[in-house]
Structure 1
């Protein structure tokens, strides 16, 4: 259908928490069962170099929703409230006469993790609301709608959230477009809090352990995969609801994650690290009405790029304050330009990660990061996909290291980052009520 006669597309953006790019079948994982994700990947555009530029929960969500980088919106640690002055997907799409909805984990309303977010500016334009700020108690998961009376998801929360998303999709007026966010807590730990039938699919001793994992955590890996398979089934329900609504052709489906999970790789757990297990995330975009033939794209794409890209696909104006890059042409197959690298960074380490602050870049082939002390890591991910051979200081790679450093300096200039110690940024943005792990004090 010609663009000028095509109706405004719907948006269904589904994202998991702590799902690394290597933990899906369509990227070659031999163990995890993800038939729905695999089918979606076969129908859509797969971004193989998608990164969570600031790989931790709250910062990613702020970058995703605003299209801006952490030193612009100020959220580079968990449990910080997104300023009401920041415009998000919800406000922008509501102003364009879309129905808007957010279901699941929010983690943008400050350090009261189980508190109520009342209707108004703290919901940032999302109309339909079934949200908990932050919990990973997957079988006793609290959320709120439009009153301060807490509600609880029935059973495994990601499944209940998916069912509500299906109800929302089925109830839409086909004459009015909608923008739906479905935000899951899994596969974030605890890895054992998953329905038993999914755990039974994975025998820990039968799992393949990557060569970058010195102390295999087989039981955790089995639980991690069980969560992912549970999410895969729930994603199938959502996709079927879209199909049954008659709106599949004109619905943009996005599937991604807020960051990865180290799971013992390089000797680390969780996130906030520059290795691919932490920063590289799945990203699939399917838009049957306007996308190119299904393919894999290796152009780097970062969280702030999703808002301008989707606005462009919807033929809506991109606000001037948005800092991400419009990469819609990579979905449609038309002409366009794109950055050759993506910024990755941890501005103020906290909680599990007790190492140094760092800045880096990820291209479609190389990863480079430095600390305040100097260059830290450099990998050729084509010949070293598990990132076990650090090339920093190798004379044979001096030219490459200099090239990657130049790319990083370009990003630091673009984001107005002079790369100071973490305390400088915490003080600048008022993030000073911190505990002994340098984390914002929060009420669980």
Structure 2
């Protein structure tokens, strides 16, 4: 008996002294690769991400495997492509295709880790846990307050009458906005504070914690405390307009082409301010880890699901194979395995995060093979020749393959092809795919062949036939799809809201846009296309149960049109 007790005591002591590594995954939303000062972009105010880069490593060529929110998050969560989990776009409001697919949180939970999700996850249904033991959600468009801990927090603080808690999406989606909340109550800060609370409550248990920030995803609702953060900054110019034929390259107000230089610059500065707000939140979490003595025993990963075109080539938003959309920041800190202060080249992507987390914690993947590899191995030797990405369904689908010099993209819409020399044309302005010169044609053929193989393994069934892509009939896109103004944004009025909807929505629209310095122009509404106005009025009627009054129409549209003519 005494020997048994001694053995158990020794086991307990051994477990105490041999602490298992923790994992902290920090995921911003829609953050471009060129938004961290330490990455070589001095216009950015990111002291905490700079510190993380200095103490860890920065991967300079990280790509989103699918540059839209829902699809990429499931790529990351499962380490597998859409062929396995079923998400290729943000439009698929359905559960994961196979609930047996192993996920990061489920693997960690099954191996004795405490697992938690804080912030935006973008799962369906909203509280589908995918193995997380705890979920404290903050989603962009919650259907009910009961599902969303941030909404509950606002109500407890006496702020339950806020209707657009993450900025006003209808009318003003890509317009810099005044936040209804103060900085301390902003969703970005809430993710940090709720994560810190969770860390304080956790005790000594090993953990996997995933923090999902909504910023810098639009709308860019900036708290008053951060007004003017980039006022004096000299910021980069966007890549000149060079849109694809299906989008049209002629000046078009739907893309914001007629905006003034001041308006366009105000938008970019609002985006950078949103990034800096995420940086502040990350700093708070890192400080807590340091104070608790957990920093060096925690694998810290900072990345994003995709980027934001931010006027490059005349586009807004994501869902494109261009650098602003498909490349994302990636920082990794774990000094026990990787010395800090390095920038690492070579292709890495969203699929590599799951195997990295398992590697550092000594956990095995339970079923089948993964597409990605541990970043620890790739940091020492990266022999990847090609990088892939893909997105969409039907006529909006494309697949990309690039090597260290050239990027190839196949669009199913009419079979349109792109090829860019990334060494001599980093802005991707000059499409070489139509050139007949031998070296270029050979490059197109080689990258096209690799893109076919990737699509055959990872893409939707039926897109490859007889060893070749199956294009769909050519269809031009309306400017609302990839431009500044999206019809679907007018549809995204907040369904959870229990109060008087109509008057409150008008009030918040006015508050959001009542700052010429932020918006770059002294207008209440910044776009007055007749179809846009009618669409908003129809959505308003559906949402509130009443028509806009003549006074409200005048307030939102007619006065703005008059001012624009002056």
Q: TM-score, normalised by structure 2?
A: 0.65
Would you say 1:194 and 2:219 are equivalent positions?
Answer: no
Q: What aligned pairs does 1:251-400 form with structure 2 within 5 A after superposition?
A: 251-321=298-368, 323-330=370-377, 333=380, 339-348=384-393, 356-372=396-412, 373-374=414-415, 376-394=417-435, 395=437, 396-400=439-443
Q: What aligned pairs does 1:37-56 form with structure 2 within 5 A after superposition?
A: 37-56=49-68
Residue 307 of structure 1: CA displacement? 0.6
The residue matched to 1:300 in structure 2 has which SS? strand
Cross-structure match for 1:60: 72
User: Aligned match of 2:148 in 139, 144, 149?
Assistant: 144
Residue 409 of structure 1: CA displacement? 2.2
Distance in 2 between residues matched to 1:356 and 1:123, nearest whole Å: 30
Q: What residue ranges of structure 1 are gaps of 5+ in the alignment?
A: 111-115, 350-354, 424-435
Q: What aligned pairs does 1:214-253 form with structure 2 within 5 A after superposition?
A: 215=257, 217-253=264-300
The residue matched to 1:233 in structure 2 has which SS? helix
Residue 371 of structure 1: CA displacement? 1.5
Residue 6 of structure 1: CA displacement? 6.2
Cross-structure match for 1:431: none
Residue 38 of structure 1: CA displacement? 1.4
Distance in 2 between residues matched to 1:285 and 1:393, nearest whole Å: 40
Deviations, residues 162-211 of structure 1 (Å, cap 9, x unaligned): 0111222233333x2100000000111112x1112323112389433133
Cross-structure match for 2:133: 127
Distance in 2 between residues matched to 1:213 and 1:142, nearest whole Å: 44
The residue matched to 2:132 in structure 1 has which SS? coil
Distance in 1 between residues matched to 2:471 and 2:117, nearest whole Å: 32
Distance in 1 between residues matched to 2:356 and 2:471, nearest whole Å: 31
C-alpha distance 185-366 of structure 1, shift in aligned 2 (>3 A): same
User: Aligned match of 1:412 in 452, 455, 468?
Assistant: 455
User: Aligned match of 2:114 in 99, 107, 110?
Assistant: 99
Cross-structure match for 2:186: 156
Would you say 1:209 and 2:276 are equivalent positions?
Answer: no
User: Aligned match of 1:80 in 88, 93, 118?
Assistant: 93
Distance in 2 between residues matched to 1:236 and 1:347, nearest whole Å: 35
Asked whether the 8 Å contact 2:415–2:471 carries over to 1, the reply is no
User: Aligned match of 1:165 in 187, 195, 210?
Assistant: 195
Q: What is the alpha-carbon root mean square deviation over aligned residues?
A: 3.1
- Give the stretch that moved more between structures: 308-317 or 76-85: 76-85
Residue 271 of structure 1: CA displacement? 0.6
Cross-structure match for 1:8: 20
Residue 323 of structure 1: CA displacement? 2.9
Distance in 2 between residues matched to 1:12 and 1:291, nearest whole Å: 16
C-alpha distance 437-361 of structure 1, shift in aligned 2 (>3 A): farther
Asked whether the 8 Å contact 1:260–1:281 carries over to 2, the reply is yes
Distance in 2 between residues matched to 1:143 and 1:225, nearest whole Å: 30
Distance in 1 between residues matched to 2:62 and 2:225, nearest whole Å: 31
User: Aligned match of 1:20 in 16, 19, 32?
Assistant: 32
Asked whether the 8 Å contact 2:43–2:233 carries over to 1, the reply is no
The residue matched to 1:281 in structure 2 has which SS? coil
Asked whether the 8 Å contact 2:433–2:444 carries over to 1, the reply is yes
Asked whether the 8 Å contact 1:304–1:325 carries over to 2, the reply is yes
* Greater helix fraction, Structure 1 or Structure 2: 2
The residue matched to 1:220 in structure 2 has which SS? helix
Residue 300 of structure 1: CA displacement? 1.6
Asked whether the 8 Å contact 1:199–1:222 carries over to 2, the reply is no
Distance in 1 between residues matched to 2:42 and 2:238, nearest whole Å: 11
User: Aligned match of 1:182 in 203, 211, 231?
Assistant: 211
Cross-structure match for 1:36: 48
Distance in 1 between residues matched to 2:418 and 2:236, nearest whole Å: 26
Cross-structure match for 1:430: none
Distance in 2 between residues matched to 1:69 and 1:438, nearest whole Å: 26
* Structure exhibiting the larger radius of gyration computed from Cα positions: 2
C-alpha distance 36-205 of structure 1, shift in aligned 2 (>3 A): closer
The residue matched to 1:77 in structure 2 has which SS? coil
